[in-house]
Structure 1
């Protein structure tokens, strides 16, 4: 049986009865108040689960981190330069505590690139980002790895 009677009620006979709560705590909304941010994320989510490709900057090649941000923001009418360092250089630097959905988040020393900024992602709010990891998808910015490499957020200058 799926459920068994206990104390006048019913209880699942197998599995974790808190499964939905456990999973939903990691979900991030895909609806944003701002139309531009929504356009960026609508495009970005098309590539969720795709593999990371160093130097990739389009759906024909897949993406690296800055290729994904350049492509998705470009589809929303925002031109960004190609590399994570160049994208950092053209943003207004802000602490993560002031970041809003659609800002970029920047990281250092994620690999030996010869530049200070080596990774970029799209900030979603609630200490979450969407980025070209392997695979492309969501990440929790409170994890020790991202905290160790975090530089801060950047707001695109309009």
Structure 2
């Protein structure tokens, strides 16, 4: 029926539940207990275990001629005519449309944020940063989003924890 309405692709997702969502589903006869992650459910949404279901749906969808996207961002990248290497699901889209990267510009950006570090390695799909001072998670997230490439941070991550130096990122 989807094909009859012009659907050409499928985006795979995973149901995310809180304790409240789980209880409401259970109250109407949907038992997800075997698919819940270990640990106690609370107010934060957590994905159910669904890899087996997603693999089966992906296989059936491909057999029916649909293009399958493992994530919504992959579908968005392709729809926007962009390219991306930033996550394990990639590469996605038109890789000739990746933003250009210059090590000097990245180094300047790190300095602009008030951090100390430099590019150690720059490839088409991967950037390795040596961070001497700064928030590694912030730099990694910002550069991955801006440059749409895998970003690896090495060095010491400093942030607001009790001893101010929380360990190496390798």
Give your verdict on TM over 0.5.
no
Larger-Rg structure: 2
For CA contacts below 8 A with separation 6 or more, give which structure has more relative contact order. 1
- The structure where helix makes up a greater share of residues is 2
- The structure where strand makes up a greater share of residues is 1
TM-score (norm 1): 0.26
